[in-house]
Structure 1
Amino acid sequence: MEAPLALYRRYRPETFAEVIGQEHVTTPLRAALNNNRVNHAYLFSGPRGCGKTTSARILARCLNCEQGPTDDPCGVCRSCTDLARGGPGSIDVIEIDAASHGGVDDARDLRERAFFAPVSSRYKVYIIDEAHMVTPQGFNALLKLVEEPPEHLKFVFATTEPEKVIGTIRSRTHHYPFRLIPPRTLSDYLRELCTKEGVEVDAAALPLVVRAGGGSARDTLSVLDQLMGGAGPEGVTYELATGLLGFTPDTLLDEVVDAFAAGDGATVFGAVDKVIETGQDPRRFTEDLLRRLRDLVIISAVPDAPATGLIDVPQDQGERLTAQAARFGRADLSRSAELVADGLTELKGATAPRLLLELICARVLLPGAYHGTEGVMARLDRIEKRMAIEGVPSAAAAPRAPAPQPVARPVQAAVAAPEPPAVEPVETTPVPRPPVVEPVVAASETRVVEPVHTAPEAAPESAVVEPVETAPEPAPAAAGTSSGLGLVDVRRLWPDLLEAVKLKRRYTWILLSQNGQVVAVDDKTMTVALVNAGARNSFTSGGSEEILRQAAIDVIGHDWRIEAIVDPSAQPGAEPPLTVTRPAVAEQPAPPERPAPPTATAPEAAPRRPVDPESIATARGAIQDTRPAGNPRLGPPDDSDEHAHRDDPDADDHSLGGAQLLERELGASIIEEIKHD
């Protein structure tokens, strides 16, 4: 039993109408034949297997047809049958392979035989294949013949590299550039051939055949012929195509892409190990992964791309790609595709392909490692996706927009409801906060002997601290974000936390910005390291833990228990000032001044005594000497209250005198008190 011819020979086109994907060439050639304006020399250029030599044979067939010159040969005359598919060939159509006949002697021999008239046809046609292999001397020997040939002589030069044909020859020809066949056109053509051959082909396998052919009709038909030869009773399956052609299965690509979207490093590196252990080419896997990311980028920009044919995939695979694209942000997809594309270039000729492939995957999994625009946008995409999945309201979890008073407002309302007259003076009393350094001494001279009295003055601290644990608002936000935040995320949001702390209490902000940094985070506890024991004692004894906890609820939406430790190697979360000066005050609108109610005139309880300026200077020096030695960077806070939050206990606590504040906040003590009669 005689074996059949190869597919590309059995289905070689016989007319210009059968040539696919080259309408920009066949249409003007057919018009020239119909108008009898055929040139004496043509140059057909383009990639291999796209129809150059075949079109040259069709042109010769059209010129020598008994009904011609015509664009549709009859197919029954002697010339048509000789040049038909599987025909013996015509003696008047000479094909020369310039790769082996490109020298000057071959050109001279051609020139001598070209002047003889055709034997039985209208024209003698020379088809010179691989024309770029002709030497310059050979072209020069043909130059006069190509420029002024006999009337019966036609030349067709076919080449993949037209720039190597010398300019004097190119200028005497009509140049027609052939192109690669579009994938969609080639897929339809393959489907038609499979129907003619009676072979079942899986719809998911055809795109792989087209990819393997690379746009060349001859290469694509060779691949399809190979698959048909190895197919079983079920036909050409997707598994057969992926295994024989070396492409990555879609299931493995789906696994890797889903792991990228979820940040699952174990699955990603497990897939890389599977690629290596099964003997697949890491470069081919990277190329397939890049193609998948390219499809997702297109679907992200054009959601109906699979339905409209912009991406040539089966319907079920198009639905999977749409679902995968929805798990990414556009910036994250673009960044991932760019990283894989760069890695594909690095893999060329690499001695350790597995190592490079794992590094590529690690870069895709770590958007936080890049501080440029792409990394920031990728991190924002992931935050938005996490918020959408977990159902966290954007107002509660947005890192750049902390609410000024998200917790204190309902707490104050709960306290003020039973006794409005008792709580109202606490919110509106414009009594200035006792400063820590300069004005404290004067306050101590007039108020150090005053007893701690008036219960309404102690109400603000209890109103801020005690009811917070029972406030219902922070609970949903904390439950929604507890599972996704690590130490890196919290450190990234640390500047926002400091801004929220600054709105609540400036003293706590100074401690944390100049002496503290978060060092550990879990679902229940945030551990803050301070540079020395003095700063830690000031932090824990002054109620600063509660201030930081409330700030974390406002900014991140999670309720942590704050634990302070001493770590001299801790780097402060904000850049410290160059000199010990007052920290800069952020520009904020000053709160409207309210008239002081008559009930808050505390100085009436004890008449003020005159203050000696020398005593103030002496006390100031004493305070400077008693500053805690372990915290030299702690500068005096701003003594202006115009930016102090109404929940700042230092601004509203009238029960403490200057000496008590010094002892509580700084560990200082008054060494001498000067009294005047």
Structure 2
Amino acid sequence: MDAPLALYRRYRPETFAEVIGQEHVTGPLRAALAANRVNHAYLFSGPRGCGKTTSARILARALNCEQAPISDPCGECDSCRDLARGGPGSIDVIEIDAASHGGVDDARDLREKAYFAPVRSRYKVYIIDEAHMVTTQGFNALLKLVEEPPEHLRFIFATTEPDKVIPTIRSRTHHYPFRLIPPKLLGSYLQEICESEGVQVAPTALPLVVRAGAGSARDTLSVMDQLLGGAGPEGVTYDLAAGLLGYTPDSLLDEVIDAFAAHDGGAVFAAVDKVIETGQDPRRFTEDLLRRLRDLLIIAAVPDASATGLIDVAEDQAERLTSQARRYGAHELSRAADLVALGLTEMRGATAPRLLLELVCARVLLPGADHGTEGLAARLDRLERRVAAGVPAPSAPTAPADSEATADRVRKRDIIEEAAVSAVSAVASASDQVDAVRAAAREAGVDAVRSARSAVTKIASRVVPDVRPEPTPEPTPASSAAAEPSKPGFGVADVRRLWPDVIEQVKGLRRMAWIHLSQNSQVVSVADGLITLGFPNAGARDSFLAGKHDEVVRDAASKVLIGNWRIEAIVDGSTVVTPAPGREPEAPVEPPAPEVSVEVAPSQADRLKEAMRAPAEEPEPPVDLDSAASPDDPEFDGPTMSGTELLEQELGAQLVEEFPHQQR
């Protein structure tokens, strides 16, 4: 009994409708055939095994079909049967392998025979495979024939490198670029073939076959043919596919990923040793590990990635990947993937791939030793996961008593990291307020440089480390109530962390409310859906409530913090507002204008210190605060209010002393 043909020969398409993944080519070709608008020369290009030669044969069958013009060959006439799967072939359809017949002598021989009329068919069709192997002299010898062929002659060039076809030939053809077949479509096609063959294939084995085929239908069917030939009574299993194709088993990848998540160096290096002992290629293992990290990154960003088809895995494996992704942070996964990708690049041509693999694993395990941005982000991911799990600080490992000092150092390092992140966020947000400070100073008639000096004193006490910090107030019943979260996952620390976003939201709604929040208030406590804001004095609190700014803050907090919140304003002595320092009066200059101390928003310390060292700008003309308000301002209450009254009502300011306007 003769052995059956290979899968890629048994299932070679016979019509354009059976060609998968190339609808952008088969559609226009079928339309041209049906309308009898066929060109005399075609160029099919694309990766290997994607259907170029098969489509050329189908095109030749359709051209010589007795029912032509027709989009698909009928399959019943003599020409169609001769060119069908397993057919004897047609004398009028000549296939030439340009890899062995690409010289100028072969081109001259083709040119001499091309002028003879076809024997049985309508057209004599030349299919020149691997056309990029034709020499320049051979193409030049064919140029005149391809440019002006006889009526009965058609050319079809197939190549994987269209750029090597000389432009004079390429410009006289209709070029159709073929593409790689999508993995989902190729997987469905394999499933249909396995069902028609009556062979059982594990769902987890099909993605490995598709991955080995790399988008080529012929290569994928060849791999599948090999697995079907070696399958036992149970069919094609995952272990069989992974062993024959050389891929790392999922169990070993799960072991390594779990060890990375637990920071268990012993388990990681034991897995590396298992890779070497089982004879696997360290480079292939590193590539599979990088692919697994890529899947985890996608699942971390899109939790339903397996259901939407972003990753092609079985259902049980998707559950394992989802569970593993929860144990990592996005920055930690990104850092691990970058390190593995860099290690994979370094392994190319290396003489000691195991050594490089172990070094890569060591760097992934030690984010604390990485002082760059990626290492800091990875450590912050760990802190956030501990906070989300209700563990504020890392617990000391089980060890002798002398490890208490080590645990204390770890706790102190984590506290410093959290403080550093808060400081970085404060400085970054403060840089956006510099322009607002200068604009507000000019509107009030106050010199921008003097306002900057006032702001430096306030910022230095909060940001610069060599300035004595403010004393911590004693805990009060209100602050002790803040330990109870008002919403699931929101406590006073969470609200304070997101409060800059609330302030930014308020800025877009009402600017006067934004000034109150950024200058005169701070979050005191959070409990039962109530956010309590503390103000330094009764005037600031009453001005805040009189302008109904609490409603604006409530709307902004509901958008940022997701939920229904209530806002309460109280007078809290622990809310410190540093007044801007004044100056000694100098000789009066006419006309006189009132001068008041103005509270400015925080700004970036280094930027403001630089402004202090800069030469003073020319003073702007004085502005009368009593006449500065405009009836067009929505916060303006009426023409009878003076500038001092407006400051007292809206900002809660208190006039300390009034001087005539001074000139330096």
User: Same-fold call, TM > 0.5?
Assistant: yes
Distance 2:12 2:405 in 1: 61
* Post-superposition offset of 1:493: 4.6
- The two structures have a TM-score, normalised by structure 2, of 0.62
Q: How does 1:82-481 map to 2 (within 5 A)?
A: 82-389=82-389, 391-393=390-392, 397=393
CA contact (8 A) 2:336 2:364 kept: yes
TM-fit CA distance, 1:483 = 9.8
Q: CA shift at 1:137, angstroms?
A: 0.3
Distance 1:174 1:86 in 2: 29
Choose from 405, 413, 416 the match for 1:492: 413
1:308 CA drift (Å): 1.5
Cα offset, 1:387, TM superposition: 3.3
Q: Deviation digits for residues 350-385 of structure 1, max 9, x if unmatched?
A: 100100000111111111222222111111001222
Partner-residue secondary structure (3-state), 2:95: strand
Q: Is 1:585 matched up with 2:467?
A: yes
The answer (yes or no) to whether the contact 2:339–2:360 under 8 Å persists in 1 is yes
Shift in Å, 1:226: 0.5
Residues 587 and 39 (structure 1 numbering): CA distance in 2 closer, same or farther, change over 3 Å?
A: same
- Equivalent position amino acid for 1:134 in 2: V
- Match of 1:75? 75
Mark the CA change 1:80 to 1:487 in structure 2 (over 3 Å): closer, same or farther: farther
Over 3 Å counting, the alpha-carbon distance change for 1:590 and 1:195 in structure 2 is closer
CA distance in 2, matches of 1:590, 1:256: 46
- The one-letter code matched in structure 2 to 1:5 is L
Supply the distance in 2 between the matched residues of 1:178 and 1:112 (Cα, whole angstroms): 31
The residue aligned with 1:27 is 27
CA distance in 1, matches of 2:341, 2:37: 49
**2: CA distance between counterparts of 1:484 and 1:80?**
86
State the 1:324 CA deviation: 0.6
C-alpha change, 1:39 and 1:585, in structure 2 (3 Å) is: same
Q: Which residue of 2 aligns with 1:627?
A: none
Query: Aligned in 2, Cα 1:484/1:244: closer, same or farther, shift over 3 Å?
Result: farther
Alignment partners' CA distance in 1, 2:151 and 2:378: 69
Equivalent residue of 2:154, what SS? strand
What secondary structure sits across from 2:279 in the alignment?
coil
- SS in structure 2 at match of 1:156: strand
Task: Provide, for residues 8-59 of structure 1, a one-character-per-residue CA deviation record: whole Å limited to 9, x for no partner.
Answer: 0000000000001111111111111111111111111111100000000000
User: Deviations for 1:194-238, whole angstroms, at most 9, x for unmatched residues?
Assistant: 000000101100000111111111111011101111111010011
Write the letter of the residue equivalent to 1:160. T
Code of the aligned partner of 1:331: H
- Name 2:513's counterpart in structure 1: none
TM-aligned CA distance change 1:243 to 1:493, over 3 Å: closer
- Using the alignment, how far apart are the partners of 1:42 and 1:91 within structure 2? 20
Kindly state the Cα deviation for residue 88 of structure 1 after the two structures are TM-superposed.
0.7
CA deviation string 1:76-116 (max 9, x = no partner): 10110001011111111000000000000000010111111
2:413 partner amino acid: R
Q: Which residue of 2 aligns with 1:428?
A: none
1:272-326, CA deviations, whole angstroms, 9 ceiling, x for partnerless residues?
A: 0000000001111111111111100000110001112211111111111111111
Contact kept in structure 1, 2:383 and 2:414, CA below 8 Å: no
Higher radius of gyration, 1 or 2: 1
1:153 Cα deviation from its structure 2 partner? 0.7
The alignment-based identity, stated in percent, is 78
Q: Aligned-pair distance for 1:496?
A: 7.8
Deviation digits for residues 325-350 of structure 1, max 9, x if unmatched? 11100111111111111111111111
Residue 615 (structure 1) aligns with: none
Q: Write the distance in 1 (CA, Å) between the matches of 2:418 and 2:28.
A: 71
Deviation at 1:588, TM superposition (A): 3.6
Provide the aligned C-alpha RMSD in A.
2.5
User: 1:75, 1:182 → 2: CA distance?
Assistant: 29
Distance in 2, matches of 1:314 and 1:167, equals: 47
Question: SS of the counterpart of 1:154?
Answer: strand
How big is the shift at 1:589? 7.7
User: SS at the partner of 1:175?
Assistant: strand
Code of the residue aligned with 2:25 in structure 1: it is V
* Structure 2 CA distance for partners of 1:137 and 1:386, relative to 1, 3 Å: same
Matched residues in 2 for 1:484 and 1:77: separation? 90
Query: 2:128·2:157 contact (CA, 8 Å) conserved in 1?
Result: yes
Q: Which amino acid aligns with 1:148?
A: E
For residues 409 and 215 of structure 2, the distance between their equivalents in structure 1, rounded to whole angstroms, comes to 48
Tell me which amino acid in the other structure corresponds to 1:68: A
TM-score (normalizing by structure 1):
0.60
Deviation at 1:484, TM superposition (A): 13
Deviation at 1:586, TM superposition (A): 3.1
Describe the superposition over 1:485-539 as per-residue Cα deviations: whole angstroms up to 9, x where unpaired: 747634635758999xxxxxxxxxxxxxxxxxxxxxxxxxxxxxxxxxxxxxxxx
Highest RCO, 1 vs 2 (Cα 8 Å, sep ≥ 6): 1
* Letter of the 1:352 counterpart: A
Total equivalences in the alignment: 425
C-alpha distance 186-496 of structure 1, shift in aligned 2 (>3 A):
closer
Amino acid at match of 2:250: D
Letter aligned with residue 372 of structure 1: G
CA shift for structure 1 position 69: 2.5
2:299 and 2:322 in contact (8 A); partners too = yes
Specify the code of the residue in structure 1 equivalent to 2:16: F
Query: Residue 329 of structure 1 aligns to which amino acid in structure 2?
Result: G
**Which consecutive residues of structure 1, in runs of 5 or more, have no partner in the other structure?**
399-473, 476-481, 500-582, 593-645, 647-677
| 1:275 to 1:217, Cα distance in 2 relative to 1, 3 A | same
Query: Aligned with 2:56: secondary structure?
Result: helix
Distance 1:163-1:484 versus aligned 2 partners, 3 A rule: farther
State the alpha-carbon separation in 2 of the partners of residues 371 and 379 from structure 1. 10
For residues 119-158 of structure 1, the C-alpha deviation after alignment (integer angstroms, 9 at most, x for no partner) is 1111111000000000000000001111111111111110
- Amino acid aligned to 1:489: V
- The answer for the alignment partner of 2:482 in structure 1 is none
2:129 touches 2:157 (CA, 8 Å); kept in 1? yes
The residue type paired with residue 57 of structure 1 is R
**Aligned-partner residue type, residue 249 of structure 2:** P
**Partner of residue 54, structure 1:** 54
